Amino acid sequence: MRIRGGARTDVGLVRRRNEDSFLVRERLFAVADGMGGHRGGNVASSLALDTVATTVPATGATAEDLVDAVRSANGAVLERALADPELEGMGTTLTAMLMRGDEGLVAHVGDSRAYLFRDGELRQVTEDHTLVRRMVVEGRLTPEEAEVHPARSILTRALGVEPEVDVDREAVSLRDGDRLLLCTDGLTGMVPEEGIRETLRREPDPQAAADALVAAAVAAGGEDNVTVLVLDALPDGDENEAGLPVAAAAEVAEGPRAAAPSPPREPRGQALATAAALRLRELPWRRLAAWAGAVATAAAVVVVGVRLYVDRQWYVGAAAGHVAVYQGIPADVAGIRLSHVTAVTRVRAAQAERLQPWHQLFQGITAPSERAALGIVQQIRADVATAARLGRAAGPAAASGVPGAGPAPTPSPTASPSR
């Protein structure tokens, strides 16, 4: 089976920079949608794809190799963001497909998508890692409500946010004549699936199909960067006829990595005791066992009680430089963090923190419920967007008209009301 394909990417009509990247390397294909503003988003997406391209073996690669490469990309993006203050908070989605015989092996994190178009029908292969998708699964939203929900772009998983990331994997059995689509949400957020299906049916040439899909997204408003790969599975031979360039949205020279300093050794303690201190009263072993059991039971009750309390708490804070929703409380006990990220937005935390109502974002803004936390996120997004519009219209002087606002936030290509 051979692959013939087409690719197109476009900045759209609203963003100032294209933070999408795509990759074609023999039988390896991927799209990534960066986030982070300034130059962070395009660095994140291109770095992630470069890591995948250099990590997946050129021959004999397996599904596990592909998943490991995506995990390596997560570490590379996070490490780079921590090393460069200008890139703080960057992250990216990533959807990759490796052709192996008559199968397409998929590894996926975020809300970019992979589709299979077969016999005129379009099927989504990947599952969006978004808040609204989770709400649909839990029965709190219908699919139709999710399509127009204001929180539809809040991610629950992305590369570069936390040291460990769960990677979805799928295997798609391919037939001659199948068509695969990899795309960022700049397409799916602007063009309904029926329109995508009709375009794939109407355009037999993969490059023409990719061009038409991107044009449709731009014509519908072009509110986001949009990237599309259309890949046709054809009989005979095993050469890749796509002829597509490997995209690198930004090339950043990377110096040698500094070795991590070794942690200082703890000094060895020396036991000092006197004979008097060692005269311990002997306890019968049954009494000791009963006492230990009672202590263990009491400790278990306390742990369960604390866990039940913590799981009912919510707050809005920052994760990897972005506004995020946490379940739990913003505290550590004995080195154990009592919260975890449930959703991360594309709104930069530094922009929100500059506005007086949200200056305590990095300490955590508590909420009585998940719904209340999401309401806070929506208000933060609106306030940041308002401050950015005022700053673009009249500079810092206009921004100061926002109650409590400091200097005008730097407009970010990912900070729009839809994000």
Q: Which of 234, 262, 277 is the last residue of a domain?
A: 234
Classify residue 299: in a domain, yes or no. Answer: no
What local confidence, expressed as pLDDT, does residue 310 receive? 56
Q: Which range has the worst mean pLDDT, 13-22, 205-214, 398-407? A: 398-407
Cα distance between residue 24 and residue 20, in whole Å: 14
Q: Is residue 244 part of a domain?
A: no
In which band, very low, low, confident or very high, does the pLDDT at 279 lie, cut at 50, 70 and 90?
A: very low
For the chain, what's the residue count? 419
**pLDDT for position 338:** 67
Whether 224 and 319 share a structural domain? no
Q: What is the pLDDT of residue 242?
A: 46
Q: Is 3 helix (H, G, I), strand (E, B) or coil?
A: strand
Local confidence band at 37 (pLDDT 50, 70, 90 cut-offs): low
Q: What does the alpha-carbon distance between residue 319 and residue 322 come to, in Å, rounded to a whole number?
A: 5
51 with 169, same domain: the answer is yes
Provide mean pLDDT across the span 389-413.
45
Is the pLDDT at 332 greater than 60? The verdict is yes
**pLDDT(274) > 50:** no
| Most confident among 93-102, 343-352, 367-376 (mean pLDDT) | 93-102
In the predicted model, is pLDDT for residue 243 greater than 80? Answer: no
- Scan for tokens 């490490």, then name that residue: 79
Residue whose tokens read 């990247």: 21
Confidence of residue 413 (pLDDT cuts 50, 70, 90): very low
Top pLDDT among 339 and 374 is at 374
Whether residues 227 and 318 share a domain: the answer is no
Q: Does residue 313 have a pLDDT over 60?
A: yes
pLDDT (0 to 100) of residue 339: 78
Task: Indicate if 119 and 222 belong to the same structural domain.
Answer: yes
* Domain C-terminal end among 184, 200, 234: 234
Please check whether residues 110 and 216 belong to one and the same domain. Answer: yes
Residues 76-130 have pLDDT tens digits of: 999 999 999 888 889 999 999 999 999 999 999 999 999 999 999 999 999 999 9
Residues 66 and 177 in one domain: yes
Region 57-71 average pLDDT: 95
In a domain, 148, yes or no: yes
Is-contact 398 407, C-beta < 8 A? no
Same domain, 146 and 46: yes
* Residue, of 272 and 386, whose pLDDT is higher: 386
How many domains, in total, are found in the chain? 2
pLDDT at 350: 85
d(CA 200, CA 242): 17
Could you identify the residue written with the tokens 């991360």?
Answer: 344
Residue 329 lies in a domain: yes
The more confident residue out of 57 and 331 is: 57
- Average of per-residue pLDDT across 32-53: 89
| Residue 32 sits in the same domain as residue 151 | yes
Q: Name residue 63's amino acid.
A: A
Percent of the chain residues past pLDDT 70, beyond the cut = 73
Q: Check whether residue 95 and residue 207 sit in a common domain.
A: yes
Instruction: Name, of 232-241, 263-272, 371-380, the range with top average pLDDT.
Output: 371-380
Residue 250 in domain: no
Residue 286 has what pLDDT? 46
**233-243 b/e (C-beta count within 10 Å ≥ 16 → b):** beeeeeebebe
| pLDDT of 17 over the 50 cut | yes
Between 190 and 298, residue with greater pLDDT: 190
In 371-389, which positions are buried (b, 16+ CB within 10 angstroms) versus exposed (e)?
eebbebbeebbebbbebbe
The residue among 286 and 194 whose pLDDT is bigger is 194
Closest-CA residue to 228 (of 216, 240, 243): 216
Q: What is the CATH number of the domain that holds 79?
A: 3.60.40.10
Report the pLDDT averaged over residues 386-402.
58
Among 59-73, 86-100, 352-366, the range scoring the smallest mean pLDDT is 352-366
User: Does residue 416 lie within any of the structural domains?
Assistant: no
Distances (CA, A) of 130 to 10, 76, 191, 196, 346: 23, 23, 18, 21, 12
| Residue 383 domain boundaries | 314-399
Whether 221 and 321 map to the same domain: the answer is no
104 part of a folded domain = yes
pLDDT value at 303 more than 70:
no
CA distance 197 to 69: 31
Asked whether residue 101 falls in the same domain as residue 221, the answer is: yes
In a shared domain, residues 138 and 229 = yes
Give the Cα separation of 402 and 384 in Å (integer): 10
Lowest pLDDT segment from 180-184, 249-253, 400-404: 249-253
Instruction: Provide mean pLDDT across the span 132-153.
Output: 83
pLDDT score for 333? 56
What dihedral angle (degrees, nearest 10) is formed by the CA atoms of 332, 334, 335, 337?
A: -30
CA nearest neighbour of 313 among 245, 275, 369: 369
Asked if the structure places residue 34 within a domain, the reply is yes
Distance CA 259, CA 353 (A): 33
